[in-house]
Amino acid sequence: MGFVKITKEGIVGKLKVVGLQKGDIVYVASFMPVLGNSSTLLEDTIEALIDVVGGGGTVVMPAFNWDYCSGDVFDPIKTPSKVGVLTEAFRKYSGALRSVTPYERNIQSVQCGSMEFSLLIKNRHVHR
């Protein structure tokens, strides 16, 4: 049995069915293999999330990396996320922000001009 073809439009539709809407803040933890093997799946998923929450919404994903525990220097620009392929793709996405502290909950978000985003990152250093 094969996978159903997943499209950006299909993802947008499912996100709306579960109640996601403009202005929402959404925290995304994912396991991408369950969605299949499309060459554009990561980009389609990220863009669908951003499209659905819109200009006043915020998409948040974890971007943890534990290499600093081994003495490696954490660089918010170069150090990859090690909690999934979607979070790593989002870390590299144009407009995504990442906190500069590797050991606390990393907030990675496309800021869509939201007031809530400012509250999420208040008192945190953020790298664009």
Is the torsion defined by CA of 65, 67, 71, 72 positive or negative? negative
Burial (Cβ within 10 Å: 0-12, 13-18, ≥19) of residue 17: exposed
Inside any domain, residue 1: no
**Residue 29 CA from chain centroid, whole number:** 8
CA dihedral 126, 48, 17, 111 (to 10 degrees): 20
Angle (CA) 67 69 71, round 5°? 80
pLDDT at 38: 85
Burial (Cβ within 10 Å: 0-12, 13-18, ≥19) of residue 86: buried
Write the single-letter amino acid at 107.
I
Inside any domain, residue 106: yes
- Tell me the per-residue pLDDT of 19-30, one tens digit each, with 9 for 90 and over: 999 988 888 888
Inside any domain, residue 3: no
Q: What confidence category does residue 11 fall into, taking pLDDT thresholds of 50, 70 and 90?
A: very high
- Tell me the per-residue pLDDT of 53-111, one tens digit each, with 9 for 90 and over: 987 888 888 888 888 888 888 888 888 988 889 989 998 888 787 777 665 444 443 33
Average pLDDT over residues 7-20: 96
pLDDT at 1: 56
Residue 122: is its pLDDT beyond 60? no
Inside any domain, residue 80: yes
CA distance 98 to 62: 9
Residue 7: is its pLDDT beyond 60? yes
Counting the structural domains of the chain, the total is 1
Q: Give the predicted TM-score (pTM) of the model.
A: 0.80
Q: What confidence category does residue 33 fall into, taking pLDDT thresholds of 50, 70 and 90?
A: confident
CA distance 102 to 75: 9
Q: Domain limits at 70?
A: 8-127
